[in-house]
């Protein structure tokens, strides 16, 4: 019996009590109860506080309602006992056969186990990373690359429609400086003031020259324009390749320049003016964001007629709205904290609810102990160097283990260690162990046919089944709170329960012992654990190795 099936059973018992007149509630007032593992396992397999939630509406006290439900639940198939604790908690113990059915449910669901509909109907645009296309990705982009992708996976697993989007900052003076820097490297002259240093620029210059051997013969402005476009294309290809090696993929690569070239920025100013929030002063065009808790009004168009970055931000927000995204999530670094109020003000000025239609998450900085500065970029730690040195799996898993709002230092050498003190290795080793156990069982002739869930009668079976049963709610909770670390910590609990179970029970017969129903049942439980670990690691963008 899965937690969802138990919740449905409790609700049906409640509805029966309502129909019999034993509980003074309307049927529509009876919710789907929430069930969870008791903090102390001796209290039972599952617990619910539904009696405490409904007692006041039913005109009774929580304990009396709990006792009524306990008496009815104790008669239900699959329930061994139902007891009342404290002011009205219900502790429920399942019969071994009912509890063991969870193993079958997990195995038969396969990759779908853990998926839920908690966020069904939500259409979300999630923007993250969004680095300038003028250089390689570095450690400052790493945290949101890992967490943003994990959040996308969690939200989708919880029923939401999510589009991950990368905003390319390809407009403005920095692109001209980028092009001029490439030309300088190609011609052997000094990089202009404020230009881009690092050997990666020389590498780009060599590639640009390979495509346009005439670059050095062009007039300077034309050469800069050519270098800017070719260098931009080459750098974006490297960014996309680096993210792919980090197991991060975007559905949309959105160009800021296209906002300007397509007239979206001018259109946005006009639309916001129609909303009544735009005014003119000192020759400039302003957005009255102070009406919506911003610390000052923001300039949309300067007195010289040029739009500001803020105008592009407004146009970009409206683009997301026009594309039908009721919810927009922005994942920003700690240095963008000042953007929170102004982005919410844009949402308000656009007629949206800033508490519902926009969500801004701020991530704290990450440092890497023992890392060396990039030889290509000079003063940064490149993401691709981190991947090559430590590996995608250790970095992604470790970043997923901690809340985004906590500063974090990665110890590169420790993350490279292949021992059980390394959390990613600990979880991956548990998965590899399940696969090895499954192969050994097959070699020993343990059949999968004839699964008897009642044979899962060892306390360690019950403990492991209880851990597996919490996976769907863990996924839904992590998705609602935008906290992938809940999945990582959960996987470590499952791995611990599995390692203990593995040492206390037998999947394959020992020596000359005959294969019995217990071996088959535990092969199913082993494979159910394997599936949960694989599904959880996939949500974090981490691989599940068959052998280690």
Structure tokens at 288: 């009255």
- pLDDT over 80 (residue 347): yes
Other Cβ atoms within 10 Å of 129 Cβ, number:
24
- Identify the H or E element spanning 457: none
Q: What is the mean pLDDT of residues 186-213?
A: 92
Residue located via tokens 């998926």: 115
At 305, the pLDDT band (50, 70, 90 cuts) reads: very high
Helix (H, G, I), strand (E, B) or coil at 367: strand
- CA 461, 462, 466, 469 torsion-angle sign: positive
Most distant CA pair in the chain, distance: 93
Q: What is the mean pLDDT of residues 336-354?
A: 89
- Identify the H or E element spanning 356: none
Provide φ and ψ at 246, rounded to 5°.
-95, 10
Task: Average the pLDDT over each of 93-97, 268-272, 316-320, 398-402 and give the range with the smallest value.
Answer: 93-97
Distance, CA of 399 to CA of 293 (rounded, Å): 33
Structure tokens at 84: 């009342």
- Identify the H or E element spanning 85: strand 79-85
Contact 136, 374 (CB under 8 A): yes
pTM value is: 0.89
Distance, CA of 536 to CA of 533 (rounded, Å): 5
Residue from 138, 135, 126 nearest 166 by CA: 126
- pLDDT over 90 (residue 336): no
Kindly provide the residue ranges of all beta strands, DSSP E only, lying in 325-480, ordered along the sequence.
327-333, 358-363, 366-369, 408-411
- pLDDT over 80 (residue 41): no
């Amino acid at each position: 019996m899965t937690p969802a099936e138990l919740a449905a059973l409790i609700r049906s018992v409640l509805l029966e009590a309502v129909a019999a007149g034993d509980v003074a509630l309307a049927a529509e007032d009876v919710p789907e109860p929430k069930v969870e593992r008791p903090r102390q396992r001796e209290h039972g397999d599952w617990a619910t506080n539904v009696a405490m939630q409904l007692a006041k509406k039913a005109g009774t006290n929580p304990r009396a309602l709990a006792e009524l439900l306990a008496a009815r639940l104790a008669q239900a198939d699959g329930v061994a006992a139902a007891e009342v604790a404290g002011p009205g908690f219900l502790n429920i113990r399942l019969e071994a056969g009912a509890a063991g059915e969870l193993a079958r449910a997990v195995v038969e669901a396969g990759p779908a186990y853990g998926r839920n509909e908690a966020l069904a109907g939500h259409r979300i645009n999630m923007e993250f990373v969004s680095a300038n296309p003028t250089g390689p990705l570095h450690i400052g982009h790493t945290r949101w690359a890992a967490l943003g992708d994990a959040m996308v996976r969690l939200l989708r697993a919880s029923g939401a429609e999510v589009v991950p989007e990368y905003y390319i900052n390809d407009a403005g003076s920095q692109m001209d400086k980028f092009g001029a820097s490439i030309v300088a490297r190609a011609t052997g002259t000094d990089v202009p003031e404020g230009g881009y240093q690092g050997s990666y620029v020389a590498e780009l210059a060599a590639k640009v020259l390979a495509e346009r051997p005439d670059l050095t013969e062009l007039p300077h402005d034309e050469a800069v324009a050519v270098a800017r476009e070719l260098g931009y294309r080459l750098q974006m290809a490297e960014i996309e390749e680096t993210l792919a090696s980090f197991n991060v993929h975007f559905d949309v690569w959105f160009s800021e320049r296209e906002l300007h070239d397509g007239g979206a920025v001018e259109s946005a100013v006009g639309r916001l003016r129609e909303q009544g929030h735009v005014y003119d002063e000192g020759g400039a065009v302003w957005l009255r964001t102070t009406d919506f808790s911003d610390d000052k009004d923001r300039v949309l168009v300067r007195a010289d007629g040029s739009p500001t970055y803020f105008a592009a931000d407004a146009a970009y927000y409206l683009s997301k709205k026009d594309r039908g995204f009721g919810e927009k999530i922005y994942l920003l670094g700690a240095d963008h904290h000042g953007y929170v109020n102004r982005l919410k003000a844009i949402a308000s000025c656009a007629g949206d609810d800033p508490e519902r239609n926009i969500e801004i998450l701020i991530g704290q900085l990450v440092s890497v102990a023992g890392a060396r500065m990039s030889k290509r970029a000079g003063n940064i730690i490149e993401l691709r160097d981190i991947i090559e040195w430590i590996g995608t799996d250790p970095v992604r898993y470790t970043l997923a283990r901690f809340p985004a709002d906590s500063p974090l230092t990665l110890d590169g050498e420790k993350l490279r260690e292949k021992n059980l003190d390394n959390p990613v290795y600990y979880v991956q080793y548990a998965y590899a162990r399940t696969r090895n156990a499954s192969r050994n069982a097959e070699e020993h002739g343990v059949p999968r046919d004839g699964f008897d869930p009642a044979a899962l009668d060892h306390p360690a079976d019950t403990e492991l089944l209880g851990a597996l049963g919490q996976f769907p709610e863990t996924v839904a909770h992590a998705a609602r709170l935008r906290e992938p670390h809940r999945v990582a910590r959960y996987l470590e609990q499952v791995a611990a329960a599995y390692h203990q179970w593995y040492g206390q029970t037998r999947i394959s017969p020992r020596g000359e012992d005959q294969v019995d129903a217990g071996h088959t049942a535990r092969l199913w439980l082993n494979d159910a654990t394997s599936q949960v670990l694989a599904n959880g690691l996939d949500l974090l963008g981490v691989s599940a190795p068959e052998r280690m």
